[in-house]
């Protein structure tokens, strides 16, 4: 079975059932149309994967928890047509991280270094 599928199934078993969408205002939107800003979420884990045919064509799945207990995923198709809204949202989290360190369950610098070494 594909590693990405296993990762997503594991997240769903752990309660990550929402599908988040990044907006143009550096927020994320849930399936239920609720908006969250970077100060209202934390990234608990992420998974980077690439296609066998083109290792430069990769995507990132972020596992996210909100301050009111919602759990879900945000997909960043960081490939040939990256989603600028996701990139902007992740950058807003980085900026917020500088102001308040407790928003992440792991330090961002550690996550960023791991991101590129986790390709399958």
83-94 pLDDT per residue, tens: 788 888 888 887
Report if pTM > 0.95.
no
Mean residue pLDDT of the chain comes to 76
Statement: residue 108 has pLDDT above 60: no
Find the mean pLDDT for residues 8-17: 93
**Percentage of the chain modeled with pLDDT above 70:** 70
Find the mean pLDDT for residues 4-20: 90
**Distances 105 to 50, 64, 113 between C-alpha atoms, Å:** 25, 10, 15
């Amino acid at each position: 079975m594909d590693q990405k599928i296993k990762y997503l199934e594991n997240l769903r078993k752990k309660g990550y059932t929402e599908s988040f969408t990044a907006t143009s205002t550096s927020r994320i939107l849930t399936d239920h149309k609720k908006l969250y800003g970077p100060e209202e979420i934390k990234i608990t884990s992420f998974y980077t994967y690439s296609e066998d045919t083109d290792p430069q064509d990769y995507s990132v799945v972020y596992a996210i928890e909100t301050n009111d207990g919602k759990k879900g995923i945000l997909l960043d198709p960081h490939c040939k047509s990256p989603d600028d809204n996701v990139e902007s949202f992740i950058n807003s989290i980085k900026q917020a991280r500088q102001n308040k360190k407790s928003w992440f369950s792991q330090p961002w610098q550690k996550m960023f270094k791991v991101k590129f070494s986790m390709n399958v």
